[in-house]
């Protein structure tokens, strides 16, 4: 990885992707266990986090394909955010559980932050490319 890569808290986006994806995956597995394995939907964060972490790892291992992998990862981050947008409906429902509220809050907040960082890194990369061409 080049030292002039876009970073957040000193970490580049593939590293952030691996961490964020693993957080989602661990939360999904934990939520499934906490729910007494009653619902497969508790695993949704894992199904979305797995590809985010995988794409981050592939981007780190294959710098030539980094752009492709990071765009795929950003798409999964956006899916997290969109899934989390159900949070207000869940908060207003009478039968909401703390686990359901927490899962949607994590999807919305962490997915939104991750998507924001992805977009910022894409903007940064484009500006760097344009500056190099000028």
- Residue 3 is predicted with a pLDDT of 52
What 3-state class would DSSP assign to 35?
Answer: coil
pTM of the model: 0.91
Return the closest-CA partner of residue 66 out of 24, 133, 15, 130.
15
Return the structure tokens found at 41: 């939907």
Return the closest-CA partner of residue 17 out of 62, 60, 47, 67.
60
- Residue 88 is predicted with a pLDDT of 94
90 burial via Cβ count (<10 Å: 0-12, 13-18, 19+): middle
Q: Where are the beta strands (DSSP E) in 6-127?
A: 7-8, 11-12
Return the structure tokens found at 44: 């949704």
pLDDT, mean of each 10-residue run, the chain (134 residues): 77 97 96 88 93 98 96 97 94 90 96 97 94 89
């Amino acid at each position: 990885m080049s030292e002039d890569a876009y970073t957040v808290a000193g970490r580049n986006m593939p590293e952030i992707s691996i961490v964020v994806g693993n957080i989602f995956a661990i939360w999904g597995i934990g939520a499934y266990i906490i729910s007494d394995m009653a619902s497969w939907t508790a695993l949704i964060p894992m199904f979305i986090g797995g590809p985010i972490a995988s794409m981050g790892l592939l981007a780190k291992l294959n710098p030539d394909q980094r752009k492709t992998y990071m765009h795929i990862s950003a798409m999964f981050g956006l899916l997290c955010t969109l899934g989390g947008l159900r949070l207000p409906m869940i908060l207003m429902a009478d039968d909401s559980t703390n686990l359901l509220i927490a899962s949607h809050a994590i999807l919305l907040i962490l997915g939104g932050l991750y998507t924001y960082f992805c977009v910022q890194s894409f903007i940064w990369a484009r500006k760097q490319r344009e500056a190099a061409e000028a």
